A and B are shown apart, each in its own frame.
Chain A
Amino acid sequence: MTEKKEYDVLVLGGGISGSESALNLAKQGFKVILVEKDLSLGGKMIHLSKVFPTLDCSACITTPKVSETARHPNIDIYTFSEVRDIEKLNSGDFQVTLVQKPRYVTEDCTGCQLCEDKCPVVVNDQYQWDLVGRKAIYVPFSIANPRIAAIDIENCSLCGACEKVCPANSIDFSQVEMQTPIVVKTVIIAIGFNLFDPTLIPRYGFGKYKNVVTSMQMERQLVPTRPFNNVLRPKDGKMPDNIAYVLCAGSRDETVGNPICSQVCCMYSTKQAQLLMGALPMADVTVYYLHIRAFGKGFCEFYQQAKGMGVEFIKGKIGLITEKENGNLLLRYEDIESGNIKEAEHDLVVL
């Protein structure tokens, strides 16, 4: 344990909410410590393509915010760190143990990525939602902040090639976990959200059928730093031309413990459908929904705009998804308007 540090505010989470909170408080003169468990600031938003309903570039909103946060003199940032044991003191302040995990790369790293070329280990890239591989030493993503490599020690082959090739001598395998006691006057919890695990609904086939993807995987396919060279099917690299969206996948469903509406899947699916019409002009996009909940400012117009662009909306509940030999998917669904059970074939399904 090292010397105790004191701050006005501890912000837990370096996503868009945490960064905004930290920045606003720092601008008012408060001393802020921002703790992020991931290797970079930016949270989920920095990985999105566009925002709805304005279709502004998501990274263009997040990146300047993150840079300003990182440069502000009143904010101390700890990435790849967590807090343990928040305890309220008699004074009303909180005593917190800050845990900094070793990244095995020092701040001298220039982000040149020469180490990545030499690293022999390939594992799933969590920032591309497992659609492509990354190396065991890696810069998290191109607009990461800080843009410093890290070593995934669990998957490291301990070959030392990165240390040999690093021109900045920034590899440091002697790093260990560090614990620092801090005292803060207040705590803001901005820890974001976890995405629903679609394997909890086996009838949708996620994990079993490679052409059933999550909306976050599709989101990554729609950004310029995409995992593939275009929007492609993970199963065979085919450019899809008949894409289905299954709404309420994991929400409004008692069986998976989420009985209420996510309030977001209607609109991000509508957004992605519009972006797909741009990326793949010849593709058909069909959205299977229970109710369209376009409740925010400009949302209904955005939905109408998608319809106007040719996105088909079918009020239907998907019962089962099965795969054909060619990788296409058969969706068995209840057409709620007619009450009939129907089947439709698509070459890519987004949950």
Chain B
Amino acid sequence: MGKTIDIIKEKRSVSEEVKGRIKSFNRLKKMILKSLETGGKTIPEIAKETNEETHVITYHLMTLIRYGSIVTGELDDNDEYYSYEFKQKQ
């Protein structure tokens, strides 16, 4: 199959909502990854550092885990929060 993207581009355009989604995900991804540069952290710790709501961090962090950027670390001493860290490159 050849390049077919140009066919759909003639019929459709990208909505502002989709552009906004890409921007928002990239911004949060950058913030979460930057926060983890200094070591494993829990969701409330990342939220505090990034000044974002915890549920927003939960959603995006879990999405990043799904696509392989981050892995789950240890559970804290109170058995409440997991820490999350960069996936070690092989």
Contacts and interface: CB of A to CB of B under 8 A. Distances in A.
A327 B8 CA distance: 45
A52 to B, nearest CB: 28
Contacts of B65: 229
A132 B62 contact: yes
Given A116-B67, A121-B18, A131-B62, A236 B4 contact: no
Query: Looking at chain B's contact residues, is the secondary structure mostly helix, strand, loop, or mixed?
Result: helix
B43 A237 contact: yes
Interface stretch (A18-26, A79-87, A151-159, A294-302): A151-159
B54 A236 contact: yes
Contacts of B82: 229-230, 232, 237, 239
B51 interface: no
Given A120-B22, A238-B80, A239-B80, A132 B8 contact: no
B66 interface: yes
A210 interface: yes
Interface string B40-54: 001110010000001
A63 interface: no
A160 B67 contact: no
B12 interface: yes
Contacts of B66: 132-134, 227
Interface in A169-219: 169-174, 210
A114 B60 CA distance: 20
Interface in A230-251: 230, 232, 234-239, 241
Nearest to A176: B11
B43 A236 contact: yes
A122 interface: yes
Interface string A142-155: 00000000000111
A125 to B, nearest CB: 8
A230 B12 CA distance: 40
Interface residues of A, number: 44
State the main secondary structure of chain A at its contact with B: loop
A99 B81 CA distance: 48
Nearest to A327: B54
Contacts of A238: 43, 80-81
A30 interface: no
B12 A172 contact: no
A239 B12 contact: no
A239 B54 contact: no
A173 B1 CA distance: 10
Interface string B46-88: 0100000011011111110111100010010001111000000
Contact of B21 (A116, A123, A171, A236): A123
A96 to B, nearest CB: 28
Contacts of A322: none
B89 interface: no
Contact of A227 (B3, B8, B26, B62): B62
Contacts of B9: 158
A117 B43 CA distance: 23
Contacts of B63: 122, 132-134
Interface of A: 104, 106, 116-117, 120-123, 131-136, 153-160, 163, 169-174, 210, 227-230, 232, 234-239, 241, 282, 327
25 contacts: A104-B8, A116-B67, A121-B21, A132-B63, A133-B63, A134-B63, A135-B67, A153-B12, A156-B12, A156-B18, A158-B12, A158-B13, A158-B14, A169-B1, A171-B4, A174-B7, A210-B55, A227-B66, A230-B82, A234-B58, A235-B54, A237-B44, A237-B57, A238-B80, A239-B80
Interface of B: 1, 3-5, 7-9, 12-15, 18-19, 21-22, 25-26, 42-44, 47, 54-55, 57-63, 65-68, 72, 75, 79-82
Given A104-B8, A172-B1, A228-B58, 16 more contacts: A106-B1, A120-B25, A132-B62, A155-B21, A156-B18, A157-B19, A157-B22, A171-B1, A172-B4, A174-B7, A228-B62, A229-B62, A230-B82, A234-B59, A236-B81, A237-B82
